[in-house]
Structure 1
Amino acid sequence: RKAIIRKLVAVETLGSTTVICSDKTGTLTENQMTVRKIVAGGKTYEVSGQGYEPEGNILQQDNSVNVEEHPALRELLLSGMLCNDSAIKEKDGQLAVEGDPTEGALLVTAQKAGFNRQDLEKQFTRLDTIPFESDYKYMATLHRQEQQQKVYMKGSLEAIAARCSTQLNAQGQQEAFSKDEIHRISDEMAANGLRVLAFATTSSEKTDIAHEDVESGLTFLGFQGMIDPPREAVKQAVAMCQKAGITVKMITGDHALTASTIAAQIGLKGREENGRLVAMTGRELSKVTDADIADVAESTAVFARVSPDQKLRLVKALQSRNHIVAMTGDGVNDAPALKQADIGIAMGITGTDVAKDASDMVLTNDNFTSIESAVEEGRNVFDNLTKFIVWTIPTNLSEGLVILAAVIAGTVLAATPVQILWINMTTAVLLGLTLAFEPQEKGVMERPPRQHNQPILTKSLIVRTLLVGTLLLIATFGLFHYELDYQGASLEEARAAACTVFIVLQSFYLLNCRSLRNPFFPSGFFSNPMIFYGIGLMLALQLAFVYAPFMNKLFGTAPISAMSWVRIVAAGIVMYFIVELEKWIRRRSTSMED
């Protein structure tokens, strides 16, 4: 189901998860960017086409434009192609991005305008690069064209706008930077779910570039708005998590309005203002005091422009409220938050080795639905582990009680030590382990998360353990003495009958344990064929134990009559219905309390 568990304890923790903090891009969305809108020189352009095929046009009022007649647009597209480390290559007969999907979308848009990357890279030789860092939220490249150097820069609107003092107008001339107007247009695009990327440029006389070289004085070129639609199955997966009592939160580096819009589309629930989900930015989060951070983390569903250290702070805040937190991450800087989270989830495709090493679980498809699937599997694994324990404890308890009862009563042992060893060895493997193959019960994602400090054996399960142990003791000890005292059976025959009581009653109780709360029939009588293979093989070995001469000699048993089998099976049926009655009483009392 596309989830690799790196640490086995994480399987148990998954069943207790109460909050999932997920990245947006690629996890909740398709991670297949397509530029839809461009703003340059005060003009707005539409982009047609879909995916990474360079088929489509740059449009203004539904008419294709010639970029040579739009200098600001040309410079913007040029920046997107040159300040870029990704590539579009053919894989399995389809074009796919090698690198960052956002950069892939920029390359495709420039190709739609007629740019050729190889020609541009010959014309604009790259001299140096400032790679993207989450702390700075931009990337810059230095290029030489003939005798002059030029810097192209792309990043978040906040990071780029803070460094600009001028902007290009429609004629390609510099003018005063209209910061407020730029933010207004950006907010409109983000409110429509577009991911906005800003671009800037400046000249340089240096042959290398550092952060201090691009701190101020840049010329704003415009921005490109791209769509990254939510994955088809994510909305259903989020709804299932919420139904299971798990809160889903989005933590992203995107614009707050973009994050809020996508969050609403996939059904996240949290604090709202004016009918819109509140998206708290990293800047706002940095102003929240330690005393208030837990309240903010719990009530807010969307966090935008968040840095890695703020992710760590959010995890700690949620854990302070006794939440079991699952956190996704892919970068090197995400490692502390992944390590701190109760379940650190790394991306298998885009994730770095550092993130994977810090994680408890790796998603091989980077898809949120795999997290929901892993929670389902985690709950099922814990259920089956509990079923095995609830099955094995009373069966072992009864074996000890049978010997103890004989000692206290001063009577002959109903089963010898070697016969008890036979029962233990065969039933544990052939009966108990088959519960590990039990499929997921209906409604496993309709119940609240298990309390992380809740013991495996709850009070009700302890009561059942004592009930079943007592029933096994009564049936085994009672039928042993009935065969010995009233049917005239030999000691060997009576002990063979007693051992068979253990096997048959444990087989019936195994069917009880297929569901700890409900009858197992609704889940499908043959949904776990391993149960019946195990019971069949166990009965075959028990027949050999009772009737094969070499087994009689080895274990000190003797063949038993058909009527003995009838009494043993009848005892098994009675015990099965007593346990089902106990389940019914518990369900009834629980529903009355609810």
Structure 2
Amino acid sequence: MAEYVEAATDDERIAADDQRGLSTAEVAARVEQGRVNDVPARASRSAWEIVRSNVFTRINAIFAVLAVIIFSTGYLLDGLFAVLIVANSVVGIVQELRAKRTLDRLAIVSQARPRVRRDGRTAELDPAKIVADDVIEIGQGDQIIVDGQVLTVGSLEVDESLLTGESDSVLKHPGDPMLSGSFVVAGAGTYRATRVGREAYAARLAQEASRFTLVNSELRNGINTILKVITYLMVPAGALSIYNQLSGDQPLPDALRGMVAALVPMVPEGLILMTSIAFAVGVIRLGRRQCLVNELPAIEGLARVDVVCADKTGTLTENTLRLSTIRPFGDAAESGLALAALAATDPRPNPSLQAIARGTPENPAWHADQVVPFSSARKWSGAHFAEHGSWVLGAPDVLLAEGRPERAEAEGLADAGLRVLLLGRARALEPLRAVAPAALIVLEQRIRDDAQSTVDYFGSEQVAVKVISGDNAASVGAVARSLTLPGAGTPLDARTLPEDREELATVMEKATVFGRVTPDQKRTMVAALRSRGHTVAMTGDGVNDVLALKDADIGVAMGSGSPASRSVAQIVLLDNAFATLPQVVAEGRRVIGNIERVATLFLTKTVYSVLLALMVGVPGLIGFDALPYPFLPRHVTITGWFTIGLPAFVLSLAPNAERARPGFVGRVLRLSVPAGIVIAAACFTSYVLVYPGTGGQTAQVQASTTALITLISMALWVLGIVARPYTWWKAGLITVMTATSVLMFVLPLPQRLFLLDPSQVGHTLTAFAVSAAGIVLLEIVWWVAPRVLGPRWAGPHR
């Protein structure tokens, strides 16, 4: 007996410790031992990683080697391109650090803050401050931050599908394990943290509980493809340039300068930089609108979306509800007391129960000995009260059979856009049996002020909006009709949808409004749309949206939503404003459109540089006199500044509202390749026409100047093509770049610095004549080729 009493005493002490949680001293001891949850809440590069990734790049390494070669010749001015190493690194570091600060600040706001018991009190803590043995309270929608062991439960159901792939929720009991990365779908409880930090289950799997595959980025994939092709082209062209320059009669310093001048412009040094800057600036701009972007390519992804699946509650309507009326079918007083008692049984009530609790009398002190919490799969909650029987609250069309007058009355109210719940008596709760209707509970929901303008925007942009909700189909349809959404007049009940994926995809493409959708169905509906080639964005705020948010191309969560929904979304609207989505689309379009322009400029330079190196090198390879490369490194550096570098920086940050189109690589190459061929041919022609063969340094400088005039003239024309359609600032940009280039050839100081001699009028006229012919060919490529070869040959931004 003594042993039994001692055991009971120990159990009581443990239970008391669970209620109290750790003491301040116990927490300090665990911190001292390093038993802290030190896994970062989100993947974010450190400042050192940002610096390292911007300084130690392949392009910087190439330029550094070439700079050393040039500096060894003593011609320091020809090493101006080395400034690009510093410029690229500094600009990239500054912008990424600004974006990091923005993301980290917003991430703190969006971060799930678990409720932890310490010293007998409960408080919300930063996840990083949780220590081993902390007692954590959880409720519906909460994400499990660390591994642990269940202590107490109130019909606690946990979804572990993000970890295991199993979609069925798991009913938890005291002593059961809890895995980080899962989330609560129903009920409430407490658990003790057993493994924290990098020892936690999800951390061992993927460093982040909810991390999943990156957004597919056509821009990123396209640029990687382009760089791979450029690498293959640079190898033979570079080798030929090295052989040609070093095997001729030139002095070694001159040969090295020609070799470096041929190699430097082949490298698209600013393409990756400009892409990173464009994304980083997009993050900063959206951050000012309280939009957290968890994955940078998500900005681009949303710009390509053609279907937006929106949840009704919390997205189209405000998340708060108001109890309008109670329509009893019997004893009104008893129904009111039962309703208040049900609201009091849930420690973490959803918006419907919150509205009921605010609108009903004080808790009548009914004692609940059995509680079934609400879940999106069941569509109802209930409790058994010792002296008052079992009561349920939920969807009328789920709790009542078809044909019941009470159900018909509820559907009539739902047609007006009201949310209607049924309060009823039940013979048993698990399984639910014999529900007798007691009252209809009518809740009012307010449509967001920004919902109409956002729906109108997507309609004007040919983006289909599908309303997918767990509410009654008639109620969802009424809200959709008030927003004049096409197809809102025929809402569908998801319980009637086909299970076959192909049949479901057909229905999804035709219909617009769906009600009574379960969480698994939301996921299946998103997959069905994607199977037809649609790019799908899913918006939501509840635990029932998590699976669909995860599987959509782009998941968008509301900041006031559940921690689980925020953790899996790529974009979080912290101010809960549905109207922010058009701003994200606009940023994505700006990034895509501007990088397309910038890529065209850089790739045109690479193409003409490779081809010019081949044109100069091949004659010497087949037995003719070797030609010195027409340009010095300083020439290609200033050409890059005025025709590509500075304009590209401005264009990459400019407004751009053009719709995103697939085929980024094809469109860029369709202009840059022909333009590069024409420019290379024109430069080579000008150079050969005036090249003296002999005549000393002065004649060589004059020939180089002629080729450079041709190159800059045509490169500026390509800039003008890429900048179309014109605005005042684009015209100003081109004017400034043209004027600066002209002054470089006219003023004595830049002539001396850059070794330019345009004094031979005949040579200059030759350069302009060849340039004019080349410009005509460029315009033919731009205007005529699409009409002859079809729209697929249209250049970017037509």
What is the rounded CA distance, in whole Å, between the counterparts of 1:138 and 1:533 in structure 2? 68
- The equivalent of 2:468 in structure 1 is 251
What is the rounded CA distance, in whole Å, between the counterparts of 2:689 and 2:647 in structure 1? 27
What is the rounded CA distance, in whole Å, between the counterparts of 2:685 and 2:486 in structure 1? 59
- Give the conservation status (yes or no) of the 8 Å contact 1:34–1:105: yes
- The equivalent of 2:655 in structure 1 is 439
Compute the displacement of 1:567 (Å): 8.3
- The equivalent of 2:185 in structure 1 is none
What is the rounded CA distance, in whole Å, between the counterparts of 2:393 and 2:473 in structure 1? 18
1:513 aligns with 2:719: no
Q: Name whichever of 259-268 and 539-548 sits farther off.
A: 539-548
What is the rounded CA distance, in whole Å, between the counterparts of 1:143 and 1:566 in structure 2? 99
Deviations 1:469-500 (A, max 9, x none): 23322443344456655999532344245345
What is the rounded CA distance, in whole Å, between the counterparts of 1:37 and 1:393 in structure 2? 67
1:464 aligns with 2:703: no
Q: Which of residues 587, 590, 595 is equivalent to 1:385?
A: 595
- Give the conservation status (yes or no) of the 8 Å contact 2:692–2:699: no
Compute the displacement of 1:241 (Å): 2.3
Q: Map of 1:114-153 to 2, 5 A cutoff? A: 115=361, 120-121=362-363, 123-124=365-366, 129-141=371-383, 148=387, 152-153=391-392
Q: Which of residues 490, 493, 500 is equivalent to 1:278?
A: 490
What is the rounded CA distance, in whole Å, between the counterparts of 2:374 and 2:703 in structure 1? 80
- The equivalent of 2:480 in structure 1 is 263
Compute the displacement of 1:389 (Å): 1.7
Q: Which of residues 323, 333, 336 is equivalent to 1:71?
A: 333
Q: Which of residues 547, 562, 565 is equivalent to 1:355?
A: 565
- The equivalent of 1:414 in structure 2 is 630
Judging by fraction of residues, say which structure has more helix. Answer: 2
Q: Which of residues 585, 600, 603 is equivalent to 1:375?
A: 585
1:399 aligns with 2:609: yes
Q: Secondary structure at the match of 2:305?
A: coil
Q: Which of residues 490, 503, 527 is equivalent to 2:699?
A: 490
Deviations 1:258-301 (A, max 9, x none): 1112222223334xxxxx6332223212x543452222222221
What is the rounded CA distance, in whole Å, between the counterparts of 2:655 and 2:391 in structure 1? 56
TM-score (norm 1): 0.70
- The equivalent of 2:359 in structure 1 is 109
1:525 aligns with 2:728: yes
What is the rounded CA distance, in whole Å, between the counterparts of 2:501 and 2:673 in structure 1? 49
What is the rounded CA distance, in whole Å, between the counterparts of 2:767 and 2:580 in structure 1? 47
Q: Quick one: which amino acid aligns to residue 393 of structure 2? A: K
Compute the displacement of 1:38 (Å): 3.3
What is the rounded CA distance, in whole Å, between the counterparts of 1:400 and 1:383 in structure 2? 26
Q: Name whichever of 369-378 and 131-140 sits farther off.
A: 369-378
Q: Name whichever of 560-569 and 368-377 sits farther off.
A: 560-569
- Give the conservation status (yes or no) of the 8 Å contact 2:600–2:672: yes
* Counterparts in 2 of 1:76 and 1:122: CA distance versus 1, 3 Å: closer
What is the rounded CA distance, in whole Å, between the counterparts of 1:30 and 1:400 in structure 2? 59
What is the rounded CA distance, in whole Å, between the counterparts of 2:545 and 2:366 in structure 1? 35
What stretches of structure 2 of length at least 5 have no aligned partner? 1-285, 620-625, 794-798
TM-score (norm 2): 0.54
Q: Secondary structure at the match of 1:39?
A: strand
Compute the displacement of 1:582 (Å): 4.9
- State the percentage of identical aligned residues: 23
Q: Secondary structure at the match of 2:665?
A: coil
- The equivalent of 2:444 in structure 1 is 227
What is the rounded CA distance, in whole Å, between the counterparts of 1:143 and 1:40 in structure 2? 20
Compute the displacement of 1:183 (Å): 0.9
- The equivalent of 1:41 in structure 2 is 329
What stretches of structure 1 of length at least 5 have no aligned partner? 43-68, 87-98, 163-177, 204-209, 271-275
1:318 aligns with 2:526: no
Q: Which of residues 458, 482, 487 is equivalent to 1:241?
A: 458
What is the rounded CA distance, in whole Å, between the counterparts of 1:436 and 1:364 in structure 2? 27
1:25 aligns with 2:267: no
1:547 aligns with 2:754: no
What is the rounded CA distance, in whole Å, between the counterparts of 1:36 and 1:528 in structure 2? 60
Q: Name whichever of 419-428 and 251-260 sits farther off.
A: 419-428
Q: Name whichever of 180-189 and 230-239 sits farther off.
A: 230-239
* Counterparts in 2 of 1:569 and 1:371: CA distance versus 1, 3 Å: farther
Q: Secondary structure at the match of 1:457?
A: helix
What is the rounded CA distance, in whole Å, between the counterparts of 2:709 and 2:460 in structure 1? 45
- The equivalent of 2:433 in structure 1 is 216
Q: Quick one: which amino acid aligns to residue 380 of structure 2? A: Y
What is the rounded CA distance, in whole Å, between the counterparts of 2:448 and 2:760 in structure 1? 62
Residues matched between the structures, number: 494
Q: Map of 1:300-339 to 2, 5 A cutoff? A: 300-332=511-543, 334-339=545-550
